[in-house]
Amino acid sequence: EKAISLTKSIREEAITSLFSETLPRSLAIADLGCSCGPNTLSVVSEIVIVVEKLCQQLNCSSPEYKIFLNDLSGNDFNSVFKSLDSFKVKLLDEIIKSEMGPCYFFGVPGSFYGRIFPNRSLDFVHSSYSLHWLSKVPEGLDNKGNIYISNTSPSNVSKAYYKQFQRDLSIFLKCRAEELVEGGRMVLTILGRRNDDPCDTEYCCDDWELLATALNDLVLQVEK
Ligand SMILES: C[S@@+](CC[C@H](N)C(=O)[O-])C[C@H]1O[C@@H](n2cnc3c(N)ncnc32)[C@H](O)[C@@H]1O
């Protein structure tokens, strides 16, 4: 929630320049790694509010909104879908308080490390706190019983994770380059850190080590 509010002005700037440049009749917006919590709809309402205000200022008609919510297929899309009716009513009655363009929602299951939309079909891509999840654990590593980069990991482990991140991000960008229209916008929020230490607990969650210990204990019990 903090990341969503810290990045609000960046989204506003991006959607304002996108809309003002072309005054499109429809806007296709995708939230990648939407999960099932309230953040995805709060981003959607923020974007719709910005566009509706622009329409009033520029005296033009509202576009229709096509909202694509993407996550892995195991995501609980239904809990987001169940809240859509009340979301639309609240947005119209309490926030916008006048007419707004129609809003159509679509669930898009699948990994964003592959193509998930047709060519040039999206105007605006948003993704928050999702892109630092890699597509897979790097292959062929002996990580000494750790499940992530840890103080006891051999030095090639953090390099392998870094390479995997580079490969994944490059695939992500290539796919989105095909899916976005020319002049489309993308706002990505990724967890990062300010130093070279991948184990610095100020930036990285230290629960992984606890989880690794618990998992190793379980494995040992099976082996006994
Ligand atoms: C920490 S949640 C962020 C949820 C939401 N965007 C927010 O800001 O609250 C990360 C989400 O990314 C999704 N995710 C991770 N890897 C993904 C992938 N390869 N493709 C699509 N979604 C993915 C996870 O399933 C999870 O729902």
Q: Report the distance separating Cα 25 and Cα 130, nearest Å.
A: 30
* Protein residues with CB under 6 Å of any ligand 1 atom: 4, 33-35, 37, 39-40, 70-72, 75, 111-113, 128-130, 133, 135
CA pair distance 60, 147, nearest whole angstrom: 54
In the predicted model, residues of the chain with pLDDT beneath 70 are 204-206, 224
Look at residue 150 in the predicted model and tell me its pLDDT: 86
Q: Ligand 1 pocket check: which of 1, 35, 78, 130 to mutate, most ligand atoms within 8 Å of Cβ?
A: 130
Whole-angstrom Cα Rg for the chain: 21
Q: Which of 173, 124, 100, 166 is nearest to 10 (CA)?
A: 124
Rounded to the nearest angstrom, the distance between the alpha carbon of 55 and the centre of ligand 1 is: 32
Q: What is the pLDDT of residues 14-29, one digit of tens each?
A: 999 999 999 999 999 9
Residue pair 215/147 in contact by the 8 Å Cβ criterion = yes
- CB count within 10 Å of CB 123 equals 22
What is the per-residue pLDDT across 148-196, written as a single tens digit (0 to 9) for each? 888 888 989 999 999 999 999 999 999 999 999 999 999 999 988 888 8
CATH class of 2-134+167-195: alpha beta
Domains of the chain by residue range = 2-134+167-195
Phi, psi values for residue 162, rounded to 5°? -65, -45
Residue 67 to residue 102: CA distance in whole angstroms: 11
